[in-house]
Amino acid sequence: MAAAVSRRSGAFLLFLGSVLGLSDALFGGGAPYRRQLSVVLNPNAPLPPPGGDLLHVRAVGDNDTIHFLFCSLGAPTLLLVHTNTSSSTVRVDWKKFEERNISGSLRVEPESSVLDSTAIIFSRLWEYNDVNDTGHVTSDPFPPYELKDFLWSGLNLSGASARLCGVAATFANGSLCVQLSVFESEGRGLSWPRLLHSANSSQMGVWLDGVLPRAARSRFMLELRAVGGAYPVSRVEAHRSIDDEYTPSIFKVSRWQSAVNGSSDVLGFVQWKPVAYRRLNPALEDATPCHHSEPQRLSAEETASLSALVKGFYEEPLTYGLNISFGIAGEPFYNSTRFLSWTALVGVGAPPVDSFSVLVVSMMVFGLGTPLILLLLGGVCVCVRKRTTAPPALAYEPIN
């Protein structure tokens, strides 16, 4: 009896194993693309720069390199530069870079190897009093927090991740933090929304912790600016996403991407699920929907004045901007938990796309497969019994 049970559970495990293996082969797609990462803080700076830090993560692939640059001189900015060689380098003229008044103080060399570049600036934090609980700005919002004027901490590095926290005078004990993570190969974030990443994308997390709201019914919006070379990320598309165990109850993914004329190729993208969380360790009810405004063309000059990195790298920073609003009508206001976190991917090439997870595939296989197998087995048993009990001459007798 015990032996039979263990044999059956053994067969079950074998079946489960083959299902997992099969779904891995179907949905995993072979060995993941890997990059070699090297991390340098303030590359070749004679002295630590007084106003903030510049982090350089070099991600070298087979025949290409992505340079991830993250800077807190001015508003927090992430710059991705994709080159077609594995030997390109970043050169910073620190004196000019810190003066922030000319372009060309930060270069990626050789210049002819640059395929594309995208910068994302976290430019402003908007707060509005949602008196009628509409989830939209209906009257004048409060004056925005300019992130370029924040007092930023030094970059807190751990591996290929860096965290930056900043405060404004009226934040009381609160802070706004931005975290960059760069990855060697594909995987998933550890906390919700558990975005799928690859070696070609980095993850940006933003959270607003303990800030004193200026009204009891305050909601917040984050203004992002995207700067590009020839093809800036200019339009946002919403795509359906598979709702699986990674991001419960969210059926969409929003993708802000570069539009290349007459081609479906994506050069650079910012991708997020339209959800934020109202607690650091959220439960399902702490998820709150987000929405975004249409990207607008913004002034290149004003954008360059916000960020040392954009000023130093771009001559003519073609800029689009949008607002991500946290919360919709009927959702609790910021004051309910005084916490909000939101996560996005920023990368080059085709954005990662969720496929069914192994768990969902196994459930489908068990849910649909088991009855099918039972049906087949039942059919076989009936046939076998008929063959052994009935004489051949009666084989065509109609069944009652």
Tokens representing residue 68 in the block? 């991830």
Q: What are phi and psi of 304, to 5 degrees?
A: -65, -30
223 near ligand NAG (CB under 6 A): yes
99 near ligand NAG (CB under 6 A): yes
296 near ligand NAG (CB under 6 A): yes
The Cα–Cα gap between 395 and 400 comes to: 13
With CB under 6 A as the contact rule, the residue among 305, 335, 355, 357 that binds ligand NAG is 335
115 near ligand NAG (CB under 6 A): yes
With CB under 6 A as the contact rule, the residue among 11, 151, 216, 382 that binds ligand NAG is 216
280 near ligand NAG (CB under 6 A): no
Task: Count residues binding ligand NAG (CB under 6 A).
Answer: 41
Q: Judged by CB under 6 A, which stretch of 6-14, 132-140, 302-310, 362-370 contacts ligand NAG?
A: 132-140
**Which residues are within 8 A (CB) of 190 and not within 5 positions of it... i.e. 6 or more apart?**
none
Q: What are phi and psi of 2, to 5 degrees?
A: -60, -40
327 near ligand NAG (CB under 6 A): no
Tell me whether residue 102 or residue 376 sits nearer to ligand NAG (CB atom): 102
- Closest CA relative to residue 292, chosen from 338, 344, 240: 344
CB 227 within 8 A of CB 121: yes
The Cα–Cα gap between 10 and 189 comes to: 33
Tokens representing residue 218 in the block? 């305050």
Tell me whether residue 198 or residue 241 sits nearer to ligand NAG (CB atom): 198
112 near ligand NAG (CB under 6 A): yes
CB 205 within 8 A of CB 78: no
Tell me whether residue 331 or residue 366 sits nearer to ligand NAG (CB atom): 331
261 near ligand NAG (CB under 6 A): yes
Binding residues for ligand NAG restricted to 359-388, rule: CB under 6 A: none
Tokens representing residue 377 in the block? 């087995």
Tokens representing residue 350 in the block? 């085709």
What Cα–Cα distance (Å) separates residue 91 from each residue in 25, 36, 62, 67, 202?
42, 20, 22, 12, 22
61 near ligand NAG (CB under 6 A): yes
With CB under 6 A as the contact rule, the residue among 1, 5, 30, 139 that binds ligand NAG is 139
The Cα–Cα gap between 166 and 176 comes to: 5
Q: List interacting residues with ligand NAG (CB under 6 A).
A: 33, 61-64, 84-85, 99, 101-102, 112-113, 115, 126, 131-132, 137-139, 141, 156, 172-173, 186, 198-200, 212-213, 216, 221, 223, 261, 293, 296, 321-323, 335, 349-350
